[in-house]
Structure 1
Amino acid sequence: MNPSTQTWLRKNASWIALPIVAVAAFFVGGQLASESEAPSTGDEERTHEANESIWTCAMHPQIRQTEPGQCPICGMDLIPVGGSASSEGEARRVSLSERAKVLARIRTAKAQRLGSGRVERRLLGRVDYDERSLRTVTAWVGGRIDRLHVSTTGERVRRGQVIATLYSPEVYSAHQDLIQAKQQLERLQDGATPSSRVAAEAALNAARDRLHLLGVPDGELRAMERASKPSERARIRTPFGGTVIERLATQGSYVETGTGLYRVADLSTLWVQLDAYESDLSALQTGQDVRLRVEALPGEEFEGRVTFVDPVLDPKTRTARVRIEVKNQDRRLRPGMFVEASVQSAGTANVTEAPVVIPATAPLFTGRRSVVYVELEDAEEPTYEARVVTLGSRMGDLYPVLAGLAEGERVVVHGAFAIDADLQIRGGASMMNLPGDEENPTPAGNHQQQMPGHQH
C-alpha cells in the first residue's frame, strides 16, 4: 500500500467504522433477543406441561404424581393440580367418581319443608341436687365431738338417727338441774304446802325449758328425766332423712352451738340444669315435658318437667339456665351426671308458610356466610355445587333455610369438608373464596352454637 493510500485511510477511519459497528450491533442484538425469547417460551411450555402432568389427592395434598391413579394412603382417585374452570358455575362444582364418593363417605339429605309436625330440640346439661332438699345437721349444743356415727359421705340416714355424740359440760349442768328439780318435787308429794309444791313444779319446768332451748328433743328429754344421775354426753340426732353428701366436722374437734356437722340431701327428687341458647328459648316454657338421657345409662330414658327458665342470659356463654325436675325414687340418677335433654316444640300449622329445613351438619360456616354443597341431579357422575345460603335460628338438629336453597334439593350432610378441599385443590371457588361475603352473612348465634360436635 502506497503512502498516499495509508494517509487517506487514517483520515477517514472513523467514517468507515461507523456503519460496520451499526450493522454488527443490529445482528448481535437480534440474536440476543431471539435467544432471550426462546427460553421464555420454552419455560412457559414446560410449566404448562408440568402443571398438566401433576396429580394429587383431595384428602392428602402432599401426594404428587405425574400420572393419574389412586392415592397410596386412602385409595381415592387423584385429581389434576390447578385445573381451570370455563365458567363461574363450573368453578363452584366438583365431580367425583363413584369410588371416590364411597371413600369420602359422602352422604346427602333432601331439603324438606317443616310442615305441621313438631321439632325436637336437644339441650345439654347435668344432674344437680334439688336445692330445696339440701339441709345441714348442726350441733344444738357446744362441746367436744367424742364420736361421729356416720363416718363417710354417701351413707343414707333416717330421721331421728343419732349421728354424733358430744361431751358437753353445759348439758351436764342442765341435766343435773332437771334431776334435782324432779327429786325435789317427788319429796314434796306428802305434807308439803301448796306454795312449796308450786315452787318445785316451777323449778322442774324451768329445767325442762332450759334443755328445750338447748335443742334436746322431747323423746330425749323424757329419757333424761328418768335417769338417776346426770350425763355429760349429748347425742345429736338428724331431724330429717336423706343421703350424707358432705362431712363438715372431725372426731375430737370442739364445736359451738350451731356448728354444721353434716350436709344431707334428699335424692328422691333431683334437678337437671340445662344450658339453652337464645334460639332455643322460644321453644321452652314452664310445665313442659322433657325426655332425658345420660351417657352412664345407655338405652334408658327418664322423664322430667320444666320448672324454671332463667329470665337472664349469662353474658359469657350467652345461654340461659333451664331447670328440670325429675323423680329419682330408684336412685338411678346421680348428681354430676351429664344429660342430653330432648324438648318437643310445636311446628308451623300452615304448611305453605313452613320453612325449608336442612340437617344441622349440612352447612359450612366461614364466619360471614353459610355454604352448603348441593348434589346436581342431572349430572352423569356425582357432582356437587357450592351454594351460599341464608339460615335462620337453629332448631334442634335442623336449620331453616331463608334463601339460597329450594325444597327437594339434596345437600351433603357428611363429607362436605372433603368436597371443599377437592374444590380448593382444583383451583375452584371453595367456601373460602365464593363471592357474596356481605350478601349472605352467617346468622348471629348459629356459628357459635353449631361448632361443638359439628362434623362433616
Structure 2
Amino acid sequence: MSKIPSEAPSSWLPWLLVPIVALLAFGLGRCVPELVTPAKPNDHAHEDSAEVWTCSMHPQVRQPTPGDCPICGMDLIPLTDVGGGSEQVVLSKRAAVLARIETVAVQRIATPGVDLRLLGRVEVDESRMRNVSAWIGGRVDKLFVRETGTVVRRGQPIASLYSPEVYAAHQDLLTANKSVTKLRNASELARSSAEATLAAARQRLSLLGLADAEIDRMAEAGAPRKSVTINATDGGTVTERLATQGQYVEAGTVLFRIADLSRLWVQLDAYESDLPALMEGQSVDIEVEALAGERFTGEVAFIAPLVDARRRVTRVRVEVDNPTGKLRPGMFVEAVVRGGAVGEAKQKPLVVPVTAPLFTGRRSLVYVELPPTEQGGRPSYVPRVVELGPRMGDLYPVVAGLSAGERVVVHGAFAIDADLQIRGGASMMTQADANAEREPLARIEPNQKLRSELAAVLGAYLDMQVALADDDWHAAQAAAGRMLEATRAVAPARDSAADQAWSVIGAALESHAKQAAESQAIEGARGAFLHASGLAQQILAVFGNPLDTPLRLAFCPMAGANEGAEWIQATDVLANSYFGESMLSCGEFRSTIEPGQYLLSTAGAPVSAGGGGR
C-alpha cells in the first residue's frame, strides 16, 4: 500500500488565514466610526427645493405633487418653509393660485353703516289722534256721522245728545231771564236777586260744558232744548265709531276717534343684529306693493328701547308725509334705511368684508398680504389681531389693527392659517388673548405727590377719551403723547408697594400710550385706547381716583369685537370713544368713582404706601 505524501505547511497556511482576516476586518468595521466625505453644498439643492404638498385638514399627508387628499378629497396645498418665520406664510405664485387666495384693500366708506332692508306696516300717527267725547251724560238722539272712514271738519256737528240736566238748566235760564226782564223797574233788591238767579243759571250751563256764545243763544230761545249738539274738536278721518243711536252715555264717554292722516307712522321691525347700524335721523325709502312705482321718503324718528321677547325684534318708527292720502294705515311696506352720512371733518371708518376675519373666542384675526417687494416678489401673509365693530351687512368696521390701503385675505384664509399651524407658527389658535383676565392688585393709598402724578396721567387719558369721541385723531395723538410723558414722570418710593404696583401698570401704559401717539390712523389710536382704558381702571382700583372731580365707568356692548369694552370719562353725557359720532351714545354708565374712592374690584383692602421720588 503506497503512502500518501504529506503537504508542506507553506501550501495550506494562506488558505487558513483568509477567513480569520475577514472576521477581524468585519469586527473592526463595526467598532471604528464611519468616515464620511462631507457633502458639497449643492448635492441636495434639488431635493431641498422640491415642493411638498399637504392637506390643511390632515397635515400628516405629504406628497411631492399637487392633487387630492387621499383621506378627505380636499385639494392639497403647498407646504413651504422659505424665509417665512414663525408668523409669516410665503407661497409661490403657483401655490397662491392653487390655494385660491383672494385679497381686497382695506378702505374707508362714506357712511358708518350700510343700507338695511326692513319690513313694516303703516300706522296712524299717535300724536295726531283725537277723541270726541260726550261732555254731558244723556241719550244719543242722532248721529250725523255713521261710518268709520268719514272725513270731518273741525267744529262739524257729529252727534245730537238728549240730556235731562241740560233741559232743566235751560229751563232755569229762560225763567231767570224772564224774571230779570219783568223786574227791570222793580226795587234794587228784587232786581239784584233776579240777576243773581240768572248768573247762577248761566254758571250751571257753563259747568255742563256749554260755551258762552251757545248760552247766549239759548237765553234767547223761546223754549228749552231737548238735545245738545256734539261737535268735532279737530278735523280728520273717523277711525272708530263707539256710539250707537239710542245709546245712553255718561259724561266723558268716547263717541268717536278721529285721526289726521296727512302724516303717518311706518313701524319697521329690526332684528337685534340690525340695531348697531340704525340711528335717529337716517333717511328711509319706502315702497308699497299696492302702489307700484311710487316711493315715499321719511326719517327714522325713534328706535324703541325694548326688544319684543317673543318676536326678537325692535320697532323702528319712521315719520312719512301723506298729503294725497295714498298711504293707508295697515298697509305692509318694504323700506330701505340708508346709512347716515359722516361729517366732512370726520374720518370715515375702515371696513373689511365679513369673509376676512377669523374668529376664535374673543379674538378677531385677519391675514394681511405683505408688499410684493418682500420675499422676492412671492405672495406672503402675516396674521394680525384686529378689533371689529358690530357687523353692518356684508362689512365689519375696523376699530383697531389695520390701516387704509393694506390688503387682507378674503378667500383662502383658512388654508393659510392651516399652513401656519402645521409649521407651529402663531396661528389663530395660538394668538394671545388681549382680554385675558389679569391678577388683581392690592389697593394702595398714595401720598400727595404720587396722587398729583397719577392725576396728570388720568388727565391726559381723559383728553384722549374726549378726542376719540369727537373723531379727532390728531388731538388723540397729542393727548397720548402727554399721557406717555406723564406716565414716565410717575416715581413712587423705591421698593414700596406703590413702586411694585406701578412697575406692572406703568410699563404697559407707557407702551400703549406710545402706540397711540405713533398711530397711523384713528383706528390704531382706538386700539391702544382700549388697552389704556383697562390700565386706567387698574389705576383707579389700586390707587383710587386722584382727581378732584368724579369719574364714570362706561360700557359699550358693541365694542371689543362685540364682547363689550369699558372706558373712563369725566362728563355726565355718555360719549363713546370706540365708535365716535357713528355710535356716540351707545353704552351705559356702570359706576361713579368719587374723588379719593376706589373702583370696585376683587383687590384687597388699602394699604399705606409712600410715594416719594426715586
Pick from 351, 362, 365 the counterpart of residue 355 of structure 1.
351
> 1:297 maps to which residue?
291
Percent of aligned pairs with the same residue?
A: 48
Q: 1:350 to 1:135 in 2, by over 3 A?
A: closer
1:188 equivalent to 2:183? Answer yes
1:331 aligned counterpart, secondary structure? coil
**TM score, norm. by length of structure 2:** 0.41
Instruction: Give, in angstroms, the shift of residue 155 of structure 1.
Output: 0.5
Matches within 5 A, 1:153-232: 153-189=148-184, 191-232=185-226
For 1:46-195, list aligned pairs within 5 A.
Answer: 86-87=69-70, 90-91=73-74, 115-118=108-111, 119-189=114-184, 191-195=185-189
**1:224-254 deviation per Cα after TM superposition (whole angstroms, max 9, x unaligned):** 1221111111211122211100010111121
Structure number with higher relative contact order (C-alpha < 8 Å, ≥ 6 residues apart)? 1
* 1:285 alignment partner, one of 262, 279, 285: 279
- Structure with the higher strand share, 1 or 2: 1
Q: Which amino acid aligns with 2:289?
A: E
Instruction: Name the count of aligned residue pairs.
Output: 287
After superposition, the Cα gap between the structure-2 partners of 1:185 and 1:282, relative to the gap in structure 1 and judged at 3 Å, is: same
* TM superposition shift of 1:89: 8.0
Aligned residues of 2:287 and 2:296 also touching (Cα < 8 A): yes
Does structure 1 retain, via aligned residues, the 8 Å contact 2:117–2:337? Answer: yes
**2:307 matched to which residue of 1?**
313
Unmatched 5+ residue regions in structure 2? Answer: 1-66, 77-101, 356-387, 399-406, 413-428, 431-560, 563-614
Across the aligned residues of Structure 1 and Structure 2, the Cα RMSD in angstroms comes to 3.9
Alignment of 1:300-449 (within 5 A): 300-339=294-333, 340-345=335-340, 354-357=350-353, 394-396=391-393, 398-400=394-396
Report what 1:248 is aligned to: 242
Residue matched to 1:29: none
Taking structure 1 as the reference length, what is the TM-score of the superposition?
Answer: 0.54
1:318 is displaced (CA, Å) by: 2.7
- Which amino acid counterpart does residue 235 of structure 1 have in structure 2? T
Moved more, 211-220 or 162-171: 211-220
User: Within 5 A, what are the aligned runs for 1:15-34?
Assistant: none
**2:258: which partner in 1?**
264
Deviation at 1:350, TM superposition (A): 6.9
In structure 2, distance between residues paired with 1:292 and 1:334: 13
The superposition leaves residues 207-232 of structure 1 with CA deviations (integer Å, 9 ceiling, x where unpaired) of: 11211211223343232122111111
Q: Residues of 1 paired with 2:169 and 2:128: CA distance?
A: 33
Q: Structure 2: how far apart are the matches of 1:114 and 1:274?
A: 31
CA distance in 1, matches of 2:75, 2:307: 40
Partners of 1:113 and 1:355 within 8 A in 2: yes
Q: CA deviation at 1:284?
A: 2.5
Deviations 1:337-376 (A, max 9, x none): 122242324589878x7333379xxxxxxxxxxxxxxxxx
SS at match of 1:126: strand
Contact kept, 8 Å, 1:393 with 1:399, in 2: the verdict is no
Q: CA deviation at 1:88?
A: 6.8
State the Cα distance separating 1:324 from its structure 2 match: 1.7
Structure-2 separation of matches of 1:324 and 1:166: 40
Q: What is the DSSP-based 3-state SS (H/G/I as helix, E as strand, rest coil) of the residue aligned with 2:116? A: strand
Q: Distance in 2 between matches of 1:328 and 1:85?
A: 63
Distance 1:282 1:173, change over 3 A: same
Q: Distance in 1 between matches of 2:164 and 2:75?
A: 89
Question: Which sections of structure 1, spanning at least 5 residues, go unmatched?
Answer: 1-83, 94-108, 360-390, 412-437, 445-456
Helix, strand or coil at the partner of 1:282: helix
